[in-house]
Amino acid sequence: MTDRRQPLQHVEHLTGFQNWWQVLSTAVLTIAGLAFVCGFLIVNIRLARFGVYSTGLAKAEYVLAGGLYLFLVAITAAAFHYFRRGLEQAGTLWRERRYLRATWDWLFYAFVFVSVPNYVILTASGYDDKFFLWHWRGLACVLLLASPVAYGYEFRNALFAEWPVTSGGDALSSRQQVVRAVSGLIAKGPLVSIVIHVSVYAHFIYPSLLPAFGGGHRDPLLLVVTQEGAEAAQHLVLPISKDNRLVGPVEPLWESGDELVLLVKTGQGRAAKANAVRFRRSLYVAAVNVPDDHSP
C-alpha cells in the first residue's frame, strides 16, 4: 500500500524552501539598495564640497561606500546593545550593594562599546594615528556612529505611528500607505536626522578610510604627462618638474572613464584652500602612487 503523504510532505518542504529563499533574496536586495543610496549620498556630498558631482549610476563605488557605512553603524549598534545590557546588569549589582563588581562591569562594558567600533575604523583607515582612542577624533567617531541607534528607535516608533491602514473607513492600498507613512516620517524628523548623520560621516570619516574597504582616501599621484599635459599643468599652477615631464604629487579626488579630478591645495594653515581640477586622461601617459600618512 503506497503512502500518499510523501507528495504532500515534498510540497511542504518545497514551499518552505521557496519562502525562505524569497525572504533571503528580498533582504539581500533591500540591503544592497540601501547601501547604494547611502553610498551615492556619501560620495556626492564629499565631492559637492569641491564643486564636483558624480551622476553615473552604474558605479560599484556607491555600493562599497554605502556598505562600509552600514557595516560600521551595525557594528556600533551591536556594541551599544551589549553596553546597554551590561548597564542593566551593573545596575542590579549596584542595588545589591556589590559596588566594586558593578563598577568593574560598567567599565568593562564601556570599554567594549568604544573599542570594538574603534578597532574596525582603525582597520578601515589603515591604522591612521588620528583614529586611535587617545585622539579626540577616535572617540568622536564612535559616538557619531552610535547616534543612528537612537534614530533607529525613533524611526521605528514614527513608522508604526504614521503607518495608516484606513482613511475614512476605506482600506488604503499599499502604495498609499507607503506615501502617507513616509510623509509622516519626514514631518517628524528621523529621516532628516539620518541625512545629517550621513553628511557628517561623508565629511569627517569617509575621506580618511581606504578605498579597498569603501572609503574615499586616495594616495597622492605622480603623473607622467604629455607635452599638452605639461602646458595644461603650468596654466593650472600644478606642481611640475623642471623637465616638464612629471606633475605632482597631486591628490586625486575622483576618477571616471575620461578624466581625473585632482584636489589642488593652495596656502597654508587656516588660509589654505582646496580646489578641484579636472585633468583629462589623454594629458598623461602614466600615474605612480606615492603613499602618504593617510591624511584626507
- Assess whether pLDDT exceeds 50 at residue 280: yes
Question: What's the mean pLDDT in 199-216?
Answer: 88
Map grid coordinates 492600498 to a residue: 173
Let me know the angle formed at the C-alpha of 76 by 98 and 95, rounded to the nearest 5 degrees: 15
- Assess whether pLDDT exceeds 50 at residue 230: yes
Alpha helix stretches (DSSP H) within 51-210: 60-95, 99-124, 136-162, 174-188, 190-204
Question: What's the mean pLDDT in 94-111?
Answer: 88
Name the grid cell of 190: 528621523
- Assess whether pLDDT exceeds 60 at residue 86: yes
CA dihedral 197, 199, 205, 207 (to 10 degrees): 170
Domain boundaries along the sequence of the chain: 22-208, 221-289
Looking at every residue in the chain, the average pLDDT score rounds to 75
- pLDDT for residue 172: 45
**In this predicted structure, which of 140-144, 148-152, 203-207, 237-241 has the lowest mean pLDDT?**
148-152
- Assess whether pLDDT exceeds 50 at residue 30: yes
- pLDDT for residue 17: 56
Question: What's the mean pLDDT in 158-186?
Answer: 49
Of 132, 151, 155, the closest CA to residue 142 belongs to: 132
- Assess whether pLDDT exceeds 70 at residue 174: no
